[in-house]
Structure 1
Amino acid sequence: MRITIPTARILAALLTEPDADRYGLELMQSTGLASGSLYPILHRLQEAGWLEARWEQIDPSAQGRPARRFYRLTPDGAVNARQALAELRAQTSIPGATPGTPNPAW
């Protein structure tokens, strides 16, 4: 799985509550991503087995809104997401720098 910055944002958002169901609008708000970026990534994560999706079981006319599609990390997906984010952090850190120290180039 290729981990881009937008993918890392989604994984980080999902990892805040790995057992919680999250829906698209909620993920767009927490990641700052537009739907055109978010949904293709969610689809790729689902195809890779990192994410499972299900439709909300409601009566749309009674609720006055369409059913939401919920997303949740699979157990393997949560492990893979943590590992991928740790690798990304390691790749972007400055050798010898104290963790948490700002990068002077930024």
Structure 2
Amino acid sequence: MEEVRMTLAVAAVLRAFLEDVSEPRYGYDLMRQTSFPSGKLYPILARLESAGWLIKEREEIDPATAGRPARRLYRLSADGVRAARHALAVVNEQLRLRETSPASARPVVERA
């Protein structure tokens, strides 16, 4: 399983998947939940899929009966669930440490 660079956007997408790991998600649903446009969401989904964290499947429907094309469904793989939980725990711990560290230990930003 490949390493995934953890950004706030990736963390938001992973949180959406972890809300119910048994529920497959489709792009528009994730765009509504994360407020990300497709140009931001789909590259994240592609990176997670190539890392082995996501499984992509085609929805099993009859497009004529449903009145729409079949959706691409995404769900976390078993390894992806473990990796996502661990990655988010690390991010949460880093944020907790940053909030509780004394001001003198924080980096100083010089203003021009």
How many residue pairs get aligned? The number is 97
TM-score (norm 1): 0.87
The aligned counterpart of 2:41 is: 38
In 1: Cα distance, 2:93 partner to 2:67 partner: 46
In 2: Cα distance, 1:20 partner to 1:62 partner: 23
The aligned counterpart of 1:48 is: 51
Structure 1 position 76 matched with structure 2 position 52: no
- Alignment RMSD (CA, Å): 1.3
Q: Whose helix proportion is higher, 1 or 2?
A: 2
In 2: Cα distance, 1:13 partner to 1:47 partner: 19
CA shift for structure 1 position 96 = 5.8
Structure 1 position 60 matched with structure 2 position 43: no
Structure 1 position 11 matched with structure 2 position 14: yes
The aligned counterpart of 2:100 is: 95
In 1: Cα distance, 2:16 partner to 2:66 partner: 27
TM-score (norm 2): 0.82
Unaligned runs of at least 5 residues, structure 2: 103-112
Structure 1 letter corresponding to 2:20: E
CA shift for structure 1 position 95 = 2.6
Moved more, 56-65 or 68-77: 56-65
Larger Rg: 2
